[in-house]
């Protein structure tokens, strides 16, 4: 997987419209300590039901840190990357991400009041702090990286040591000092939604500790696909290897095109509609559901060339008083997830109304389950272009 910092993409095409997306509440809405008043006229959903089952057992002395010793493996390097403050700074400064969670918690205090919360992958503890401020009885903040030590200090500095207990370790290895929790909250989403495979950790925690009528936040995630014109960047980064100072380095090109690019796509580059590939219900799904094959049909909304397909995701909190969430799509406000660009071997010449049809298969890599393998089948039978191909990608 490659990631590009600059966003100097260009497009010679006009703006096209995409199919309807759910309208989420703006993450920059003023935060109030009270629940949202009932005079909003943009309510998107009704309350699914508050959690009312009592937690079994009592909370232990707070602010303890449980540590476990284990030999370092290659999988542990994933957690090491989250030990540095820089990655947490990037996530915290992603206001779409962080303020949405803040709004969800502060504006739905009825979900958290006197409830026990498990924060999976707590990082700096920001979500745990939100939950404590919203009236949670107790919050268990689980973080495997060394950032857990900082989270403990942050909790103490802000006066929540009596409410938040930081547990250092892997969810799959730690023991909670109680049988069940009312709420599981996590910011588990990776690039392409599934990169890093933290979703399975959330599902493990759900199955082991969540009460039968408990709440998972967020509880819905949807993966979308669209197609873009991107001649300049593909020429600069992919076709470059065809002739490097007079030498053929096409073997590197083959590798470069297999690595999806994480980047911000200009909405003007979009050529087709967007297609919903997969919706995951985090409260009900099983780990195997994260691997899937889904068909797609992308219909051109103008005459143009297509150089790549683009994937992005939406996240929803449907247990709130009204529907809340955010989108990482190219027509939405930018997030640190950006979008995932999959370059095609072919340049597709497409006319308005013609369709690219195919399927996408997504699966965990067998050697490293935190990597994602993608198989893309696509075909176009148009006036000016007829093509059918299978391409393979690996996010690593």
What the block records as the tokens of 294 is 């889904």
pLDDT (tens digit per residue) in 336-349: 999 999 999 999 99
Tally of CB atoms within 10 A around 217: 26
Q: Check: CB of residue 144 under 8 Å from CB of residue 169.
A: yes
Q: Catalytic site residues? A: 187, 196
Cis omega (within 30 of 0) for bond into 218: yes
Handedness of CA 280, 283, 286, 287 (dihedral sign): positive
pLDDT for residue 28: 57
Is residue 23 very low, low, confident or very high in pLDDT (cuts 50, 70, 90)? low
Domain(s) of CATH 2.70.160.11: residues in the chain: 221-395
What does DSSP say about strands 339-350 and 304-317: parallel, antiparallel, or unpaired?
antiparallel
Burial zone of 245 (CB within 10 Å; 0-12 exposed, 13-18 middle, 19+ buried): exposed
396 vs 390: CA distance, rounded Å: 20
263: its two tokens: 């980047």
**Cβ(165)–Cβ(142) below 8 Å:** no
* DSSP secondary structure letter of residue 7: -
- Which CATH number fits the domain 221-395, given the four candidates 3.40.50.10490, 3.30.2420.10, 3.40.140.10, 2.70.160.11? 2.70.160.11
Is residue 4 predicted with pLDDT exceeding 60? no
Cα of 396 vs its chain's centroid, Å: 16
- Residue 64 pLDDT greater than 70, yes or no: no
The kind and range of the H/E element at 294 are strand 292-299
- Superfamily for 76-219? Vaccinia Virus protein VP39 (3.40.50.150)
CA 228 to chain centre: 21
Strands of the sheet containing 116-120, edge to edge, are 164-168, 138-143, 116-120, 181-186, 210-217
Share of the chain above pLDDT 90, in %: 71
- Token pair in block for residue 369: 């389950």
| pLDDT tens string 80-123 | 544 556 777 988 899 999 999 999 999 999 999 999 999 999 99
Question: Per-residue pLDDT tens for 298-356?
Answer: 999 999 999 999 999 999 999 999 999 999 999 999 999 999 999 999 999 999 999 99
If you average pLDDT over residues 63-74, what whole number do you get? 44
pLDDT, one tens digit per residue, over 154-207 is 999 999 999 999 999 999 999 999 999 999 999 999 999 999 889 999 999 999
């Amino acid at each position: 997987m490659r990631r590009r910092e600059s966003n100097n993409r260009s497009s010679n095409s006009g703006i096209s419209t995409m199919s309807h997306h759910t309208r989420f509440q703006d993450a920059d809405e003023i935060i109030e300590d009270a629940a949202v008043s009932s005079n909003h006229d943009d309510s998107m959903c009704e309350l699914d039901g508050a959690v009312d089952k009592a937690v079994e057992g009592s909370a232990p002395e707070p602010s303890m840190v449980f540590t476990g010793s284990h030999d370092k493996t290659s999988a542990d390097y994933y957690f090491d990357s989250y030990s540095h403050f820089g990655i947490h700074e990037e996530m915290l400064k992603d206001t779409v991400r962080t303020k949405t969670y803040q709004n969800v918690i502060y504006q739905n205090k009825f979900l958290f009041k006197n409830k026990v919360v498990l924060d999976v992958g707590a990082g700096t503890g920001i979500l745990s702090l939100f939950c404590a401020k919203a009236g949670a009885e107790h919050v268990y903040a689980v973080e495997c990286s060394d950032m857990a030590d900082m989270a403990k200090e942050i909790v103490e500095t802000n006066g929540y040591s009596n409410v938040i207990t930081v547990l250092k370790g892997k969810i799959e290895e730690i023991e909670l000092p109680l049988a069940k929790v009312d709420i599981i909250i996590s910011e588990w989403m990776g690039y392409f939604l599934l990169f890093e495979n933290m979703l399975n950790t959330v599902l493990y925690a759900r199955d082991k500790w969540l009460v039968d009528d408990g709440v998972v936040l967020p509880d819905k995630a949807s993966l979308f696909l669209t197609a873009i014109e991107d001649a300049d960047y593909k020429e600069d980064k992919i076709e470059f290897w065809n002739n490097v100072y007079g030498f053929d380095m096409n073997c590197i090109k083959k590798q470069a095109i297999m690595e999806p690019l994480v980047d911000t796509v200009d909405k003007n580059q979009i050529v087709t509609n967007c297609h919903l590939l997969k919706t995951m219900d985090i409260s009900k799904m099983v780990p195997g559901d994260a691997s899937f094959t889904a068909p797609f049909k992308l219909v051109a909304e103008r005459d143009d060339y297509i150089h790549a397909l683009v994937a992005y995701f939406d996240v929803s909190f449907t247990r709130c008083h009204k529907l809340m969430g955010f989108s990482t799509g190219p027509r939405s406000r930018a997030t640190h997830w950006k979008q995932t660009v999959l370059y095609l071997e072919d340049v597709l010449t497409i006319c308005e109304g013609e369709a690219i049809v195919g399927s996408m298969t997504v699966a965990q890599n067998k050697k490293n389950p935190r990597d994602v393998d993608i198989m893309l089948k696509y075909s176009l039978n148009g006036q000016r272009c007829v093509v059918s191909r299978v391409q393979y990608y690996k996010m690593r």
